[in-house]
A and B are shown apart, each in its own frame.
Chain A
Amino acid sequence: MFVLLKHLQHTRREIALPAPSRRGSLALRHVDAGSCNGCEHELAATANPYYDLQRHGLNLVASPRHADVLLVTGQITTRMADPLRRAYEAMPEPRLVAALGDCAIGCAVLGDPAQLTGPLEEILPVDLRIPGCPPNPRQIADALLGLIGDIKEHPTLPRASPENSNTPPANAAGLHIDTEGAKHA
């Protein structure tokens, strides 16, 4: 046991992660709606000693009831569309939806159209897009940390209800485009 704990201590010292900024926290709930398992591996990897997302107050929670953000992976299958909707409905407001990976964003979808429901944004309002096939843990971490920052800057960002979803879908950069669009208008 001593060797193991020393090893972990040494590993952490070598990785030398910067101190967390302590600017907030988000409770994340993941739903796999038809992925290849790549996004799951990379999302799980954000907890390993090289990234340790929990330091920043980003926690993966067991129930949508506890969640601020729904992280959705995969091309949405017909069989998962309903459980996905129900997970979203179980979340307290305000809530956000993040499309994790190219499939959830709707890029390079492969499969039989009869088995797929269509892109996530046609089912739920998407607030954040994290591209990549799969996005690596660093990209996932940066996008989620950016989301905490964006919420701080734009307190109205979390959607109060799905009716607000008529606005054009935003992505990580799009969050700013949204607000600028409002200014121009």
Chain B
Amino acid sequence: MSSRERASVAALTPARIERVTPPQWRAACERQAQAGGRFCGLFASDGAQGLQVNCIFTRARQDHVICTPVPSGAIDTLIDLFVAAGWDEREAHDSYGLRFDGHEPLRPLLEHPVEPGAWTVPVQGHDAYQVAVGPIHAGVIESGHFRFTVVGERILHLDLRLFYKHRGLQVAAEGRPLADGLAYAQRACAACAVTNTVAYAQACESALGLAPDHNLRRARTLLLELERLYNHLNDISAICAGVGFAPGSMAFAAFKERAQRLNQRLTGHRFLFDTVALASSTLRIGQADTRAAREELRVLDDEQRAIWRELRFAASVQDRLGDVGTLTKQDAIRLGTVGPSARAAGVRQDTRSESPRLAYGEFTPAISERATGDVAARLDMRQVELVQSFAILDELLSGNLAPGGVKNLNIGASDIGVARLESPRGETVCSVQTDGNTIWRLHLRTGSYANWPSVAYASRENLLPDFPLINKSFELCYACADR
């Protein structure tokens, strides 16, 4: 084995698992943070070995999982160390009855009690009143409930109540053969279908000690970028719609349609469904098709750049975007914001730069030139990333796409696999605990799940009529979070 091969195998090492006792739990997690680890999610699992809780960190391109059994049903909270763990702990409580000592009040997340006091943050003051929106919204939008506390038109606080679309996909996948899990990951969300299925496949392959070959890496990277392309075009269209600028919205909706038609031609599905398999890829794209796709993408890129310039100089659009829904860099880091929304605030983190199982090569994360963390910056960020995606797609389509597979790293199997992937909305973390060849526990922490609390936070001090625009600038999936 050459030194280069050894290095690439080292980069593919599965997550390091540290098993601790409940009293050591908090200190073990704190040590990870002190060593520079970034919190990537927390989840509980229940099985023959009893209730356990797991926390994922990443540092220096290595994933770490801290696990502890919780025989008493209660464990120390981590929210004072990692604000981002708030939703994770609330979900673990609702799904597994796990209590987190110090997390007070532990408000329900999945459960929907009728009494607003049971799930909203109390806000008191002169003239403060509540506005309830949803779960059914006015447009063609997914279902979810927003409870605004406002004074006049100014938002003081926003409580989110999602999980109206909770289908129990993760629980339903338990006990199924590993290969069946793809369908559950795919059903979580259409707009992130590739990210979620590749994340699931990589988590399984990591647990099994398998590494993707060259062709498999290229095929998956192509699919991921095709997914990002139509999503980002959609997001720019949505932000234009959010400021009532119909021409921009329609132009980018038409670009999105063209991107989805290209998906259909290349893979047989507009949302790239069923293109990802476990340990293999059947995607075969010949020279004539790659050449045609490259040409199509080149034209699409030219046209969208021309229209983007028009948007930059449309004063009625630009005037609506600045200083709206601002999320500072500090807050983005504290809240664990991911993806374009974090990069728009100046956080230079993009999981594509640490994805040795994909064909991104030496990818450098980009941040928008005005990293102001407002709607304007989030819109700019989409364009910056479109430029990257067009370039990556052009490079990948310069050769044929042939079926791929995996090679065995001969490092033995592990009973937990973790994969992190950059979805169009940010880092998605998939964890799979295996029991032989079946799923013991599947956990999907999508970019949308990570970012919803940031939407609520960024809305504070803004005008209620600007909320749809702020929401569209994050453009998160409800389905991805609810699962």
Q: Residues of A at under 8 Å CB distance from B? A: 1, 3-5, 7-8, 11, 30-38, 40-45, 47-50, 60, 62-63, 74-75, 77, 79-80, 83, 87, 110-112, 114-116, 133-134, 136-137
In the complex, what residue of chain A is closest to B180 when comparing beta carbons? A110
Q: Are A112 and B251 in contact (CB under 8 A)?
A: no
Given A3-B310, A7-B251, A60-B139, A79:B163 Cβ within 8 A: yes
Report yes or no: A60 in contact with B165, Cβ–Cβ below 8 A: no
Cβ of B303 and Cβ of A7 under 8 Å apart?
A: yes
Task: Tell me whether A41 and B135 are in contact in the complex, defined as CB-CB below 8 angstroms, given that A79-B164, A115-B167 are known contacts.
Answer: no
Select from chain B the residue with minimum beta-carbon distance to A112.
B168
- Provide the residues of chain A in CB contact with B307, threshold 8 Å: 3-4, 7
* B245: nearest chain-A partner, CB-CB: A4
Let me know if A38 and B190 touch, CB within 8 A: yes
A114-B167 Cα distance, complex, nearest whole Å: 9
Q: How far is the CB of B313 from chain A (nearest CB, A)?
A: 8
Contact A37 B477 (CB under 8 A): yes
A30 to chain B, nearest CB (A): 5
Residue of B nearest to A35 (CB): B479
Q: Is the CB of B167 within 8 A of A77?
A: yes
CA distance A63 to B188 in the complex (A): 27
Smallest CB-CB A-B distances: 6 pairs:
A112-B168, A38-B190, A111-B167, A115-B168, A62-B138, A48-B253
Q: Which of B226-275 contact A (CB under 8 A)?
A: 234, 247-248, 250-251, 253-254, 256-257, 260, 270-271, 273
Contacts of A38 in B (CB 8 A): 190-191, 271
- Given A1-B310, A41-B191, A87-B136: A32 touches B143 (CB 8 Å cut-off): yes
Nearest-neighbour CB distance to chain B for A40, whole angstroms, equals 5
- The CA-CA distance from A36 to B135 in the complex, in Å, is 16
Q: Bound complex: CA of A33 vs CA of B187, how far in Å?
A: 14
Most B CB atoms within 10 A — which of A5, A49, A77?
A77
Bound form: Cα–Cα A77–B135 in Å: 13
Closest residue on chain B to residue A49 by CB atoms: B254
Q: Is B101 among interface residues, defined by CB-CB distance under 8 A?
A: no
Q: How far is the CA of A83 from the CA of B378 in the complex (A)?
A: 33
Query: What residues of chain B lie closer than 8 Å to A137, measured between beta carbons?
Result: 257
The answer to whether B142 and A32 have CB atoms under 8 Å apart is yes
5 other A-B residue contacts (CB within 8 Å) besides A47-B253, A48-B253: A4-B307, A31-B136, A36-B193, A62-B138, A80-B143
Q: Supply 5 A–B pairs (Cβ within 8 Å), ascending by A.
A: A3-B307, A3-B309, A36-B187, A60-B140, A80-B165
Q: Closest CB-CB distance, B21 to chain A, in whole Å?
A: 31
Residue among B140, B189, B480 with max Cβ neighbours from chain A (10 Å): B140
Contact present for B253 and A45 (CB under 8 Å): yes
Known: A30-B140, A41-B234. A114 touches B190 (CB 8 A): no
The answer, among B135, B172, B256, B313, for a CB contact under 8 Å with A83, is B135
Docked CA distance A99–B409 (Å): 48
Say which residue of A1, A50, A111, A114 sits within 8 Å of B314 (CB atoms).
Answer: A1
Contact indicator A37/B250 (Cβ below 8 Å): no
Which B residues touch A62, using CB under 8 A? Answer: 138-139
Report which of A32, A49, A110 forms a contact with B183, defined as CB distance below 8 A. A110
Please judge, given known A-B contacts A4-B310, A111-B172, whether A40 and B141 are in contact too, CB under 8 Å: yes
**Are the CB atoms of A48 and B257 closer together than 8 Å?**
yes
A77, B165: Cβ atoms under 8 Å? yes
**A4 to B247, alpha carbons, bound, how many Å?**
7
Do B314 and A136 touch (CB < 8 A)?
no
**With A31-B136, A77-B167 in contact, do A37 and B479 touch (Cβ < 8 Å)?**
yes
Q: Do most interface residues of chain A lie in helix, strand or loop, or is the interface mixed?
A: mixed
Tell me the bound Cα distance from A80 to B314 in angstroms. 40
B16 at the interface (CB under 8 A from A): no
| In contact, B254 and A34 (Cβ under 8 angstroms) | no
Judging by beta carbons under 8 Å apart, are B190 and A134 in contact?
yes
Q: Binary interface profile of B, 218-231, with partner A (CB < 8 Å = 1, else 0)?
A: 00000000000000
B478: interface (CB < 8 Å): yes
User: What per-residue 1/0 map shows which CB atoms of B178-207 lie under 8 Å from chain A?
Assistant: 000001100111110100000000000000
Given contacts A35-B479, A36-B190, contact A80 B142 (CB under 8 A): no
B35 at the binding interface (Cβ < 8 Å):
no
Among B141, B172, B260, B314, contact of A32 (Cβ-Cβ < 8 Å): B141
Chain B nearest Cβ from A100, distance in angstroms? 10
Asked whether A77 and B247 contact (CB < 8 A) given A40-B140, A111-B169, the answer is no
**Cross-chain contact B135 with A80 (CB below 8 angstroms):** yes
**At the interface, yes or no: B171 with Cβ under 8 Å from chain A?**
yes
Report A-chain residues with C-beta under 8 Å of the C-beta of B172.
110-112
A44-B472 Cα distance, complex, nearest whole Å = 14
B1 within 8 A of A: no
A80 surroundings in chain B (CB, below 8 A)? 135, 143, 164-165
Given the complex of chains A and B, what is the CA–CA distance between A75 and B482 in angstroms? 13
Across the interface, do A34 and B167 meet the contact criterion of CB distance under 8 Å? yes
Which chain B residues border A50 with CB–CB below 8 Å? 254, 257
Q: How far is the CA of A40 from the CA of B238 in the complex (A)?
A: 13
**CB-based contact A74/B253 at 8 Å:** no
In the complex, what residues of A have CB within 8 A of residue B187's CB?
Answer: 36, 110-111
- Is B103 in the interface zone, CB < 8 Å from A? no
Known: A36-B479, A80-B164. A7 touches B306 (CB 8 A): yes
Interface string of B21-61 (1 = CB under 8 A from A): 00000000000000000000000000000000000000000
B168 contacts A37, CB within 8 Å?
no
- Contact partner of A114 (CB less than 8 A), chosen from B163, B168, B247, B306, is B168
- A-side contacts of B191, CB under 8 Å: 37-38, 41
The interface residues of chain A lying within 8 Å CB-to-CB of B348 are none
Which of A35, A41, A48 interacts with B254 by CB under 8 Å?
Answer: A48
Task: Tell me, yes or no, whether B112 is within 8 Å of chain A by CB.
Answer: yes
Q: Are B257 and A37 in contact, CB atoms less than 8 angstroms apart? A: no
**B284 proximity list for chain A (CB < 8 A):** none
A-side contacts of B234, CB under 8 Å: 41
Give the residues in chain B near A60, CB-CB below 8 Å.
139-140
Q: Judge if B147 is at the interface, Cβ distance under 8 Å.
A: no
Say yes or no: A36 contacts B163, CB within 8 Å. no
Are B167 and A116 neighbours in the complex by a CB distance under 8 Å? yes
Across the interface, name the chain B residue whose C-beta is closest to A82: B135
